[in-house]
Structure 1
Amino acid sequence: MKRILPFAAMLFIAHDIHAQKVYSTDQAYKADIKVFVVDQEYKADLLVYKVDAEYKTKENEGKWFFTDAEYKAKKKIYFVDSNYKADLRIYFVDSAYKAGWKDKSKQHIMY
C-alpha cells in the first residue's frame, strides 16, 4: 500500500500538469486569466502555438488546445483589448518549436 500511494499521486500530478487546455470565454468575470495578444514577439510573456489536438499539448510550454466547452479546460481565458488590463501577454507563433516562455516569472499563471 505504501508503494501504491506515491505512484497514484504521481499519475494524478502528471495528468494535471499535462493539460494546457484553454477555453476562451466571452465575459471577463468568468476568466481565470486575462490575456492580451501583442503585435511583436519581443513584447510577449509567452509565445503560444495553437495545436489541433488535445494530445499534442505539453506541460506548461505554450502549446495550447482551445476546447469547445468551459468544463473541458484547465484555464479559462478572456482576451482583453489593452495591455494594461492583462495578466499575461501572448504572441501566437507559427511553429511548435517556437512556443515557450519569454518571461518565466509569469509561468505560475498557467499552473
Structure 2
Amino acid sequence: MKKLLLLILMILIGFTCFAGSVYVMDSGKPDLVIWIAPYKSQADLCVYVAPYRSEARGKDEIWYFEKYRSSADIKIKITKYKSQADLKIYYVKYKSEAGWRKSHPWMGRLH
C-alpha cells in the first residue's frame, strides 16, 4: 500500500513541477523539445515571453526564460526539425494573443 501511495505521489509531483519559467538547454536531456514555427497557423501554442517571472506563474502560454538551469521549472531544447518536436510554438508580441491553438497532450502541464 505504501508503494502504491508513493507511486501516485511521484506521478502527481511530476505533473505539477512544470511552470512558466524556462531554461533553454544546448545539450543533455530536456523535459520538452520544441520547434519554433515561422507561422502562427503551424503552432500548437502561441507563447508570450514575460519580462518578470511572476507573470509566468501558472500559465502555459506565458514563459519567462531563466539564466540558470537550477532556477527553471522546465528545461527545453529547441530543434530545427518539426518532426522531432514534442511541441510547436510561435512567439507573439502581446499577452492577449498567447494561448493554445490546438488540443495537445502538454496542455495544462506547463504551469
- TM-score norm. by structure 2 comes to 0.77
Query: 1:45 is matched by which residue type in structure 2?
Result: D
Cα deviation, residue 103, structure 1: 1.8
Distance in 2 separating the partners of 1:26 and 1:105: 25
Alignment of 1:40 with 2:36, yes or no, is: no
Q: In the alignment, is residue 21 of structure 1 matched against residue 17 of structure 2?
A: no
Q: What SS does the aligned partner of 1:61 have?
A: coil
Structure 2, gaps ≥5 residues long = 1-12
Identical-pair percentage: 27
Q: What is the SS of the residue equivalent to 1:90?
A: strand
Tell me the residue number matched to 2:76. 77
Q: Which runs of 4+ in 1 moved over 2 A?
A: 16-19, 108-111
CA RMSD of aligned residues (A): 2.1
Per-residue deviation at 1:31? 0.8
Displacement of 1:108 in angstroms is 4.7
Partner of residue 94, structure 1: 93
Q: State the match for 1:7 in structure 2.
A: none
Query: What's the TM-score, normalizing by structure 1?
Result: 0.77
Aligned length: 96
Shift of 1:61: 3.4
Looking at structure 2, the residues matched to 72 and 21 of structure 1 have their Cα atoms a distance apart, in angstroms, of 8
Alpha-carbon deviations, 1:4-54, whole Å to 9, x = none? xxxxxxxxx9xx679310000111x33110000011101100000000110
Name whichever structure is richer in helix by fraction. Answer: 1
- Structure-2 change in CA distance of 1:20 and 1:98 (3 Å): same
Measured in 1, the distance between the counterparts of 2:33 and 2:64 equals 17
Q: CA deviation at 1:56?
A: 1.0
Q: Secondary structure, in 3 states, of the residue corresponding to 2:67?
A: coil
